[in-house]
Amino acid sequence: MESRERVQRAIRFDRPDRAPISHAVLPAAQLKYGPALDEILTGFREDFGWDYLPDLQVRDYPALYRSGRNTDDFGTVWHNEWLGICGIPVQCPIPDLARYREYRWPEVFTAGPPKGRQYSGHMMGYDPRWYARGAWITFFEQLQQLRGMENLLMDVAAGPPDFERLLDDMLEFNLAWLDRWLGLEYDGLHFADDWGAQSGLLIRPQTWRRLFKPRYAEMFRRVHAAGMDVWFHSDGAIRDIAGDLIEIGVDVLNCQVAVVGHDWIAANLRGKVAFRTDIDRQRVLPLASPAEVKEEVRRTFEACGTARGGIVACGEVGPDVPIVNVRAMYEAFHEYGRLEVEA
């Protein structure tokens, strides 16, 4: 079975020959492990058409991954003490919402424009054998980087003048950005916003549904109208809005399974949405034994998938994950990716 068909069948619960594999390697892990990591990942080719570890120079890293202080296209200043790990915004371009009308959005054509199928700077022409997934579009997180986290949460709670305008302008920018991606040959586009803390949502679910759900729905409608799938990443305990995300069109959900809860996912979401899995990266991947890593993969696959599919095998590789655990995770992807889990 070709990789593109494998991914499409997994998303649509149409019995792929195995769970497709998706790499998620932080640049810091690439820098730390180099050829040792390359050897493992090239032995477990992913199903999205990218050669592992492209020749990406440090100077080409996005501002949030470069060490020191760097400014992105939106005017946010990032501080990073560890090259290849996402830094923190330390200076935001709209600290005072009363002066929002003075802010100038970046031109869509200069804000890191898509140039075809790309992954970590690696470009290649369209190849129908592979499932092409593009973009990494944020909404809530971009608002945080424009306003600052504390300011944004106060905006959400108090609804000051110009906040709705900021939300609408953010949507307008993202829709223009989406139009550029939708003009290219992709099978799916990726959205991401971390909505959960360790035990619950960052804001009230009712507020999320009022302010953010309809704006996500508009973006997702545009993706589906172009015949593409919607992929959505969100860290934290997002139980309160998982059903809403599925309702408005998320086809593949990437959440922290161990935080949301294996049993909760099995009881409430399994079979309703496909998962790009997240193998516990808080405790298991960095701290457990290789045997425990394999058991976590099995447990995650059983919680998220069915005998008909629903799994894209993925686990984030950071610099804190021992190389033996990286190998164990990928070996388990192959071993349990063919497992006939209970429907």
Residue 79 lies in a domain: no
Residue 247 lies in a domain: yes
What's this model's pTM, rounded to 2 decimal places?
0.93
Report residues of the chain scoring pLDDT below 70: 51-59, 109-126, 339-343
The values of phi and psi at residue 87, to 5°, are: -85, -160
Q: Both tokens of residue 117?
A: 């199928």
Cα separation, 15 vs 27, in Å, equals: 33
Residue 36 lies in a domain: yes
DSSP states along 177-241: HHHHHHTS--SEEEEE---B-SSSBSS-HHHHHHHTHHHHHHHHHHHHHTT-EEEEEE-S--HHH
The values of phi and psi at residue 46, to 5°, are: -85, 175
Closest CA to 37 of 61, 53, 20, 55: 53
In this predicted structure, what is the pLDDT of residue 121?
Answer: 32
Cα separation, 68 vs 85, in Å, equals: 12
Helix (H, G, I), strand (E, B) or coil at 117: strand
122-167 pLDDT, tens per residue?
334 568 889 999 999 999 999 999 999 999 999 999 999 899 999 9
52-68 pLDDT, tens per residue?
444 556 667 888 999 99
> How many other CB atoms are there within 10 angstroms of residue 98's CB atom?
10
> How many other CB atoms are there within 10 angstroms of residue 124's CB atom?
15
Identify the burial level of 168 via C-beta atoms within 10 angstroms of its C-beta, where 0-12 means exposed, 13-18 middle and 19 or more buried: exposed
In this predicted structure, what is the pLDDT of residue 273?
Answer: 98
In this predicted structure, what is the pLDDT of residue 62?
Answer: 86
- By residue range, what is the domain housing residue 27? 3-64+110-336
Residue 73 lies in a domain: no
Residue 221 lies in a domain: yes
Measure CA 61 to chain center. Answer: 18
Number of domains in the chain: 1
Residue 85 lies in a domain: no
The values of phi and psi at residue 199, to 5°, are: -120, -10
Closest CA to 158 of 169, 171, 146, 147: 147
Amino acid at 170: M
Q: The CATH number of the domain where 198 resides is what?
A: 3.20.20.210
Residue 86 lies in a domain: no
In this predicted structure, what is the pLDDT of residue 343?
Answer: 43
Q: Both tokens of residue 98?
A: 């009363």
